[in-house]
Amino acid sequence: MFSKKIFLVIICLFVGINLFASHSTKKDKKPAPTLSVEQLNQLYDRGVKYWESGNGRNSFYTLDSLRKIDITSENALIKSKGMIYLAKCFYSQKNYRYTINYLNLALIFGKDILSTDERLSVYDMMITCHHETRNNSQENYFTQLKKSITDSIQNAKMQFQVDSLKKALEAQKNTPVATPENENPTDTQSTATTSTSNSNTNYILIISIAVAAIGILLFLLFRKGEGNTGKTNPVDIPKIDPSANKGSNALVEKIAKVELVFIRAEVLGEYGNKKTVVKIINDYNTQLPLIIKNLDDAITTNDNEPIINALSYLKPYLTAFGMSATLAMLNEVESEAPTEKTTKLLSRVFQIRNHIRRAHDETKALIEVLG
233 phi, psi to nearest 5 deg: -65, 145
Residue 150 CA to residue 157 CA, distance in Å, equals: 11
Average pLDDT of the chain?
A: 77
CA angle 79–84–87, rounded 5-degree value: 130
Higher pLDDT, 34 or 183: 34
Residue 7 CA to residue 13 CA, distance in Å, equals: 10
Cβ-based neighbour number of residue 370 at 10 Å: 17
Q: Name the residue ranges covered by the structural domains of the chain.
A: 37-150, 250-370
Can you give the pLDDT at residue 216? 63
Can you give the pLDDT at residue 30? 47
HEC string of 46-97? HHHHHHHCCCHHHHHHHHHHHHHCCCCCCCHHHHHHHHHHHHHHHHHCCCHH
Can you give the pLDDT at residue 359? 92
Q: Detail the DSSP E strand segments found in 69-200.
A: none
Q: Which of 221, 226, 227, 225 is nearest to 158 (CA)?
A: 221
Q: What is the pTM of this model?
A: 0.42
Q: Which CATH architecture has domain 37-150?
A: Alpha Horseshoe (1.25)
Residue 127, pLDDT above cutoff 80: yes
Q: Model confidence over 168-217: pLDDT tens digits? A: 767 766 666 555 554 454 554 555 455 555 555 555 666 666 666 666 65
Confidence class for position 153, pLDDT limits 50, 70, 90: confident
